[in-house]
Amino acid sequence: MKDKRWAKISAFVGILGGPLALFFALVLLAAGIGASRDGAMVALALLVTTFVIIFFVALKSAHYYKEDERVNQVGANLFVASSGVGFVVTLLLALVNIPMFSGLVDWIMDALFDGSEGFERVLGLMFLSSILSVVWGIYYAICLRKFKELD
């Protein structure tokens, strides 16, 4: 039987990382409205870092509990998918600011998000991913009850 270490980590990262990512997304929005490029870059870097941590913890937990019946695989995979969306979207937004990648990323963003609503849709996906991170963190916290203490 596997221990509950990664379930605790997933619950903590999901419940804490979701609101943190939501805060950084709001800071990114405020910096965009205020036309502060430096503020937007810092918020974007913190947002990418937060989503990277959430995504890789979700991925590790889903892999760790793959054969364990105490953690439902659908919930674990949805945590990976929702955090993966946040990670990919924020990474694409960050790569737009690197000259070497900006042409390719502009083409991808134009293909995915047409018109001037691209930033709104990206921000919406970031908000959704942040909220779902909290939901799946709570799911892992609920799963902790299924684990017996090994003390």
For the segment 43-102, what is each residue's pLDDT rounded down to a tens digit? 888 999 999 999 999 999 999 988 888 888 888 899 999 999 999 888 888 877 777 776
* 78 domain-assigned: yes
119 Cβ contact list (under 8 Å, min separation 6): 32
110 inside domain: yes
> Residue 92 has what pLDDT?
81
Report whether pLDDT(118) > 70: no
Q: Does some domain include residue 75?
A: yes
Give the range of the structural domain holding residue 111, as residue numbers without chain letter. Answer: 5-146
pLDDT over 70 at 116, yes or no? no
The number of domains in the chain is 1
pLDDT digits (tens, 9 = 90+) for 43-58: 888 999 999 999 999 9
* CA 149/CA 129 separation, integer angstroms: 32
Classify residue 151: in a domain, yes or no: no
Query: Which of 109, 113, 2, 19 lies closest to 62 in space, CA to CA?
Result: 2
Assess if residue 123 is contained within a domain: yes
pLDDT at 151: 40
